[in-house]
Amino acid sequence: MPMDIGETISVIASFGLPYRIRPVRFRWSGKLFEVKDVTYSWQTREGQNRIYHFSISDGQTLYELSFDTSSLLWKMEKVEA
């Protein structure tokens, strides 16, 4: 079962084709993680805000990150325990 986290985190991402946005590395709980695979991505809206969601894997654990295009903040949404 995934664990809800909801923490703002720092992410290095690449913007541009072919993926438009793709997280590459992220720092969470003082550790740096490398994104090995983006397994799924989707978008939602909260009012006028568009939010991009990414299911990602560092090769061991599955995470869900989100990027709010209004605040330009990344969040660690969930971690697969």
Partner 1 sequence: MDAYFASVEQQANPKLRGKPIAVIGSGGRTVITTRSYEARKYGIKTGMNVYEAKKVCPHLIFVVGDNEKYTHTCKELQKIYLQFTPDVEAYSIDEAFLDITTTHHLFKGPEVIGQSIKDQIKKLFGITCTAGIAPNILIAKLASDIAKPDGLKWVKPEEIEPLLRNLPLQELWGIGSGLAEKLEAFGIKTCGELGRAPVSLLRNKFGIMGEHLKAMGMGQCSRPLSVHPGDPKSIGHSMTFPKDLSERKDIEAEMLKLSEMVGRRARRYGFIGKKVTLIVRYPDFETFSKQTTLYDYTNSTHEIYKNALGILNSIRLEKNVRLIGVSLSSLLRDSGQMLLFEEQRKEKALLQAIDAVNDRYGDFKLIWASYLEQTEPPRVISPAWKPSGIRHINVKR
Binding of partner 1 at residue 60 (CB under 8 A)? no
CB of residue 67 vs partner 1: minimum separation in angstroms?
14
Sign, CA torsion 80/26/29/72: negative
| Terminal alpha carbon distance of the chain | 6
Say whether residue 37 binds partner 1 (CB under 8 A).
yes
Task: State the number of CA atoms in the 13 A half-sphere of 28 facing the CB.
Answer: 22
Q: How far apart are CB 30 and partner 1 at their closest, in Å?
A: 26
Minimum Å gap between C-beta 45 and partner 1 is 7
**Three-class SS state of 14:** strand
Question: Binding residues for partner 1, per CB under 8 A?
Answer: 37, 39-40, 42-49, 53, 55, 57, 62, 80
